[in-house]
Amino acid sequence: MDVSEIQPEIKFSGYQGPASVHTRAAHVFGSVIEDKLGSTVSFSFRENIVADGHQAADLLTMVDSGDLSLCYFLTSYLAERVPEIALLDLPFVINDRASAYQLLDGPLGQLLAEKVHENTNYKLLGFWDNSFRHFSNKSHALHTPNDCKGVRIRTLFSEIHAKVFSLMGFDPVALDVKDLLADVQDGTVGVQENPLTNTYNFDIHKHHRYITMSGHFFGVAPLLCHRPSFEQWSEEIQNTVINAASAATQEQRALATAEDDEILANFNLDENEIISLSDADRALLLEAVSPPIEEQRKKFGHETLALLGL
């Protein structure tokens, strides 16, 4: 068979279940692909590779190698290869979604897309909203660094996250999401931090009474494509993938915005306490974690930090 006659494959995988806003957005992506390209491509979407025994982070390796065409995943896991992307992990910098989207869709997002292209096998197709991250724990409410001292917290595999939580007073330990619930249940970690949707949908709220609405990080999950595959696809397929990514990103952000309010309303207030930080509490936390901001300024320069509004 002539190579030109081989049906291109577009294989997309994620790491969350059907209720996830990421999963629902990925189905939007698939609908556009199937509607516009029909049987000229073979499209598949696997919702949750963790259910197959994988670590969630395996997605990055699988897209990097071309075993998968696309995935979504947190920017924090790319910082080792794309140092500039760690700018999105600076604490208490992004305080509302409108500002976040303006940054991601503007010069900062363009810079990060270029750096991803230069340093990896990925093509960045969009920035998805992984929501604001908040603390939960079993034993006591968290307000200030004094409440954090010596408590073990689960973190992402991110150097800057570990540093931020250490500065707050926590004892950070990195765990894949696959192991999170078990380690919450058996007390391996006393505190975890996640978007509300994960805290609720992973059943962590059944073991952690206290939910502290800290919003210390705004999570960003880029939609990543295996660039060598993308570059081999026809112009029609490339354009359709870009348009599908745009439609999926718009839908994902709308779903994520609505979901925070929906999830917050789902907590049983007899079983969970929702804690809001006072301005004074937030100021103490911000003071504790200020060193990484100045370190990034020295590393990347004032001009780059200005793209983040700093």
Using CA of residue 95, residue 99, residue 101, residue 104, what is the dihedral sign?
A: negative
Tell me the per-residue pLDDT of 105-128, one tens digit each, with 9 for 90 and over: 999 999 999 999 999 999 999 999
Residue 199 pairs in a beta bridge with none
What is the C-alpha to C-alpha distance for residues 220 and 198, in angstroms, rounded to an integer?
A: 14
53-57: list long-range contacts, CB under 8 Å, 24+ apart. Answer: 54/15, 54/178, 55/176, 55/178, 56/15, 56/176, 56/177, 56/178, 57/157, 57/176
Domain coordinates of the chain in residue numbers? 8-306
DSSP alpha helices (H): ranges in 133-288? Answer: 145-148, 159-168, 177-185, 196-201, 227-232, 235-266, 279-288
Fold classification of 8-306 is D-Maltodextrin-Binding Protein; domain 2 (3.40.190)
Residue 276's pLDDT is what? 96
What is the C-alpha to C-alpha distance for residues 269 and 304, in angstroms, rounded to an integer?
A: 43
Averaged pLDDT score across all residues of the chain: 94
Q: What are phi and psi of 297, to 5 degrees?
A: -65, -45
Residue 223's pLDDT is what? 98
Residue 3's pLDDT is what? 44
DSSP alpha helices (H): ranges in 213-278? Answer: 227-232, 235-266
* Residue 93 and residue 101 in contact, taking contact as beta carbons nearer than 8 Å: no
Task: Determine the 3-state secondary structure of 197 from DSSP.
Answer: helix
What is the C-alpha to C-alpha distance for residues 254 and 55, in angstroms, rounded to an integer?
A: 28
* Residue 253 and residue 100 in contact, taking contact as beta carbons nearer than 8 Å: no
* Residue 57 and residue 224 in contact, taking contact as beta carbons nearer than 8 Å: no
What is the C-alpha to C-alpha distance for residues 232 and 121, in angstroms, rounded to an integer?
A: 13
What is the C-alpha to C-alpha distance for residues 125 and 115, in angstroms, rounded to an integer?
A: 13
Return averaged pLDDT per consecutive 10 residues of the chain, 310 residues in all: 68 94 97 96 96 94 98 94 93 93 96 97 97 95 95 91 95 90 92 93 94 96 98 97 98 95 93 96 94 88 89
* Residue 81 and residue 241 in contact, taking contact as beta carbons nearer than 8 Å: no
What burial class does residue 209 get, using C-beta atoms within 10 Å of its C-beta: 0-12 exposed, 13-18 middle, 19+ buried?
A: middle
